Amino acid sequence: MYKSVETLLVDIPTIRSHKLSVATMQKQTLVLVKITTDDGFVGWGEATTIGGLSYAGESPESVKTNIDTYFAPLLKSVKNLNVAQTLQLIRKTINDNRFAKCAIQTALLDIQAKRLGLPISELLGGRLRDHLSVLWVLASGDTEKDIAEAKKMIEAKRHNIFKLKIGSHPVQQDVEHVIAIKKALGPDISIRVDVNRAWSETQAIYGIQQLQDGGIDLIEQPCGIENIDTLARLTERFDVAIMADEVLTGPASAYRIAKRHAADVFAVKIEQSGGLIEACEVATIAKLAGVDLYGGTMLEGPVGTIASAHAFSTFENLAFGTELFAPLLLTEQILKTPLQYENFQLAVPKAAGLGIEIDEDKIEQLRRH
């Protein structure tokens, strides 16, 4: 059934340095998985992460090793199992490795959807929208450069919502940076912040109060992930929406966070969830618990971005939009036809499978050997 499973590491410089509290990126390493079947179908998936091991517990190199050593032989041994049974076998045989599991699941769904002649969204219950709102992340590390970048994006009708990466400077300095950008862009532009776990609870109380007073709309993962009580107390204390990101690692954690009402919003990510199907389960838990949704990214290239778009297109309520902007942060194009970003939105492809065509010659030029 599955003839080959290849994992490719593709290094692509970013258009500028991208500064998070946990890492400063000058390039992104796309982790692409290509699965080929005996009867000639090809499926693609992605397991990209951020800053090696500085963001999460899987690195590009560990994903490649684990797929090549464990997932690939298992998949090649599969006989007469459908996709659901194959995914169940993987879950039973391999612990953790959510990013790798997501890439494999994406490729299997890509193959299945191509077989059926349908977009992947239709295997996930069916899309409710063909376009997704997409914000831009300002993370140059310089207030004036961020303002100029945002103004260009608004004028080009590319993005009119911005997320600011903070947490690498003293709290007051970060707050002043955010408020200066909010003032420069005006009341109609939504500004959110992502602290990426950098603040203690006391720092968070001090920082969030000022951000709330300054008209900021969303506070993402202000504190560490070890203790959801902290997040719950901040959610209870402030009117401004508090969003769970790194702490949200799939359906089981979604259930725990929702039960405790430790966040107003979930940043759903297909990789953090362990796959598109699990991301949809996270969305259902959120719906039942009255938690709003936001479509997150691990800064994947076009494969992971479009896989995410298919999943997010099925969510009933996507109140905070998405951040599926990362292909635009890369200096190289790996698709034959670029993704369609227009009028502040990304189009969800309608062709079968993921609905994108990979430029394999380009990947061959860029991949690590």
Q: Which parts of this chain interact with ligand MUC (CB under 6 A)?
A: 20, 50, 137, 139, 165, 194, 196, 245, 296-297, 299, 323
CA distance 344 to 357: 23
Smallest separation (angstroms) from ligand MUC to the CB of 305: 11
Binding at 297: pick from ligand MUC, Mg ion, none (beta carbon under 5-8 Å per type): ligand MUC
Binding mask 219-238 for Mg ion (x = CB under 5 A): -x------------------
Smallest separation (angstroms) from ligand MUC to the CB of 62: 19
Smallest separation (angstroms) from Mg ion to the CB of 97: 21
Does the annotation count 165 as an active-site position? yes
Residue 9: Cβ-neighbour burial (10 angstroms; 0-12, 13-18, 19+) = middle
Smallest separation (angstroms) from ligand MUC to the CB of 115: 32
Q: What letters, b where the CB count within 10 A reaches 16 and e where it falls short, cover 344-356?
A: bbbbbbeebbbbb
Binding at 345: pick from ligand MUC, Mg ion, none (beta carbon under 5-8 Å per type): none
CA distance 124 to 310: 8
Q: Which of 101, 165, 182, 269 is catalytic?
A: 165
Secondary structure of 265-314 in the HEC alphabet? EEEECHHHHCCHHHHHHHHHHHHHHCCEEEECCCCCCHHHHHHHHHHHCC
Smallest separation (angstroms) from ligand MUC to the CB of 139: 6
101 or 192, CB closer to ligand MUC? 192
Q: What letters, b where the CB count within 10 A reaches 16 and e where it falls short, cover 195-231?
A: bbbbbebebbeebbebbbebebbbbbbbbebeebebb
Residue 117: Cβ-neighbour burial (10 angstroms; 0-12, 13-18, 19+) = exposed
Q: How many helices (H) and strands (E) does the chain have?
A: 13, 13
46 or 110, CB closer to Mg ion? 46
2 or 320, CB closer to ligand MUC? 320
Under the binding rule (CB under 5 A), the answer on residue 300 touching Mg ion is no
Q: How many CB atoms within 10 Å of residue 126? A: 11
Binding mask 191-210 for Mg ion (x = CB under 5 A): ---x----------------
Under the binding rule (CB under 5 A), the answer on residue 58 touching Mg ion is no
146 or 245, CB closer to Mg ion? 245
Size of the site for Mg ion (CB under 5 A): 3
Q: Which residues carry out catalysis?
A: 165
